[in-house]
Chains A and B, each alone.
Chain A
Amino acid sequence: MIDGELTQDELKAIETHLAGCASCAATLEDMRKAVGHLQALEQVEPPPWMTQKVMARVRSLDTVPGKKGFLSWLFHPSGLKIPLGAVASVVLAVTAYFIFEGIIKDMPVRKTVQVSETEKQTAEESRQIPSQPYAPAPAPDRMRENRQSAEKAPAPKTAPPQDRPIVTDSAKDTGENRLWKEEETFRAKPEAPPASMSKPEYRTAPSVAPVPSPARETEQKDIGELRKSKQAGASGMSAQRQYDKAESMPEEYAPMKAKKAARASAIRKSSVFFHVEADDPAEAAARTITIMKEFKGMNIRKEIVGDKSLVKGEINAVSLNRFFDRLKQTGNVREKKAPALFHNNDVLITVEIISGQ
């Protein structure tokens, strides 16, 4: 009846029945209303970038020459292209350089320094990682290359012997010694649309790559700009390779990417819920945010749902107990749900704050 699909006879029969049966009539009426509510739901609008993104993926399907399937998946998992040609030629150039150095400057090596991530970069990378977790083939090789070559070819490239700095200055060591964390850094983000990524950008770390012990130099490859060579005299500079995705991505993609990463990470990461009753929920929320910041929380955000405040953030699992202790200072806390084990280091914390009154 609701759908208007009955024949005349069927309709008549039912109407006759309904005339005499109040409960059936009521049921039908309720059903109509329920369907009415459904039909009244508004349609959502697709996001403005939908067409562009679809077509970008579609185009990349066609332009990967003949290598559909596995290889295509390997290098273009989201269908977007990485300029592998550019990457490959840079790798070759770097390798060639190191070999050259090794042959020319035959010196005993001290393997010193690599480049480390700043916290911010780590945060940025790890936030972007989950959606496309793979490392392109060239990158790890390149890093190993870098280390090995650093072992073989230590001398600064620009220094004539007398200019070689002897790094004893401990002031230069602090904060400027960087460690290259292989497993953390290099996962390329193949999500930037092809147009915006013409070549990978190499950022040179503004530091010397000094050595803790005196009378030794480190040599690091400087790819890209030679910044601050005056800082270290003529010593080599540490180079930090990194795809600067955030800059190359058009603005409209960034929030979606962040959301997608957050979303993916929400699914993948372990989650913990805390339920807080506080006399002043707003204040408790503010304090919760402060606490999360203390614990170097990432992706901290506050949402309001009805009469509840939700503070969310991601912190390292090892800090969880201390976080919980600190949180207790804000109000009456209950741990709502916690997974049995933490699959990875970061945990998504959701703190639900309601009024205790």
Chain B
Amino acid sequence: MSNMLDNIGAVKVDDDRELVLLSQQGDQYAFEQLVIRHQKKMVNIAFRITGSYEDACDVTQDAFVSAYKEIKRFELRSRFSTWLYTITVNLSKNRLKQINTARDRHEISIHAEEGAVHIDPPSQEMSALEALEKRDVKKAVQDCIAKLEEDFRIVVVLRDIQGFAYNEISEMLRVAEGTVKSRLFRARDMLKRCLKGRFGEL
């Protein structure tokens, strides 16, 4: 899975080091390179947590701006990306809370299209039926993720969708690795049940 390959061997080698140092000295062009480099991942993290592409874009922007403001205080002991994605996760959590609160207060019912944006894979040589089935599965997966509670959703997003290592997740969420693992187990279990409920079998 391509999204897993990005984090293989999470050694603390920071490819961003140079750019971060320059940014800390006020070099906006260097910061721009960081923005280009990391935005996709951040949008995806935010998207899977909040369930909304639009909110994900907002969150990503806010995260970058926040990082820029604080970049002088960032010490290069840990990876810049981990720090950046932590900000993203936190802002996503906040946004999710806002969405849910607004939803509850105004009794907006959760329509399928709000959470699950249909991202269709390019259907090469797939029959129409296959494409349809595949899309249904993806929609079901997204719906089931949306049903997970915040903490469980986040670990699943970070681990199984974004492919972060346990130690990275532990650092981002500021919990022990053991906690990450147990949350992940429960989250996967819930997902499994949810998917089974939708399809009968996986």
The answer to whether A50 and B61 touch (CB under 8 A), given A44-B44, A271-B107, A338-B107, is yes
Query: CA A38 – CA B102 in complex, angstroms?
Result: 28
Evaluate contact between A42 and B189: CB separation under 8 angstroms.
no
- A43's nearest neighbour on chain B, judged by CB, is B44
Q: Chain A residue with minimal CB distance to B26?
A: A62
List the one stretch of A27-35, A141-149, A182-190, A211-219 in contact with chain B: A27-35
CB of B102 within 8 A of CB of A35, answer no
Nearest CB in chain A: distance from B56 CB, A: 8
- From B12-20, B28-36, B73-81, give the one contacting chain A: B28-36
Whether A259 contacts B54 by the Cβ 8 Å rule is: yes
Residues in A whose Cβ lies below 8 Å from that of B28: 55, 58-59, 62
Which of chain B's residues have a CB closer than 8 A to the CB of A271? 106-108
**Are B192 and A46 in contact, with the CB atoms below 8 A?**
no
A203, chain B: closest CB distance, angstroms? 31
Number of A-B contacts (CB under 8 A): 136
Determine if B22 is an interface residue (Cβ-Cβ < 8 Å).
no
Are the CB atoms of B65 and A54 closer together than 8 Å?
Answer: yes
Residues A267 and B102 in contact, CB atoms below 8 Å apart: yes
- Per a CB cutoff under 8 Å, which of A39, A260, A336 touches B4? A39
Pick from B43, B44, B54, B160: contact of A260, CB under 8 Å: B54
Contact A337:B109 (CB < 8 A) given known A30-B192, A50-B57, A267-B102: yes
B83 within 8 A of A: no
Contact assessment for B60 and A270 in the assembled complex, using a CB-CB cutoff below 8 Å: no
Contact residues in A for B152 (Cβ distance below 8 Å): none
The distance in angstroms between the C-alpha atoms of A2 and B28, with both chains bound, is 42
Known: A46-B39, A50-B57. A273 touches B109 (CB 8 A): yes
Chain B residues in 8 Å Cβ range of A44: 43-44, 47, 53, 56, 117, 119
Residues of B within 8 A of A259 (CB): 54
Given known A-B contacts A38-B141, A46-B57, A58 and B31 have beta carbons under 8 A apart: yes
- By size class, the interface of chain A is 35 or more
For residue A316, give the distance in angstroms from its CB to the closest CB of chain B: 17
Give me 20 A-to-B residue pairs in the complex whose CB atoms sit less than 8 angstroms apart, sorted by A's number: A3-B159, A34-B188, A38-B145, A38-B160, A38-B161, A42-B121, A43-B3, A44-B43, A46-B40, A50-B57, A50-B60, A51-B35, A51-B36, A58-B31, A58-B65, A61-B65, A271-B107, A303-B113, A337-B107, A339-B106
Q: Is the CB of A58 within 8 A of B1?
A: no
Q: Which of A37, A46, A55, A268 contacts B141 (CB 8 A)?
A: A37
Chain A residues positioned under 8 Å from B108 (CB to CB):
266, 271, 337
- Within 8 Å CB of B117, what residues of A? 44
- A-facing mask of B123-153, CB < 8 A → 1, else 0? 0000000000000011001100100000000
Set of chain A residues within 8 Å of B105, measured between Cβ atoms: 339
B99 proximal to A (CB < 8 A): yes
Contact A57 B61 (CB under 8 A): yes
Name the one of B40, B54, B55, B141 contacting A45, with C-beta atoms under 8 angstroms.
B40
Q: A40 interface residue, CB < 8 Å from B?
A: yes
The proximity string for A residues 255-274 relative to B, scoring 1 for CB distances below 8 Å and 0 otherwise, is 00001100100111111010
Q: Report the bound CA distance from A289 to B117 in whole Å.
A: 24
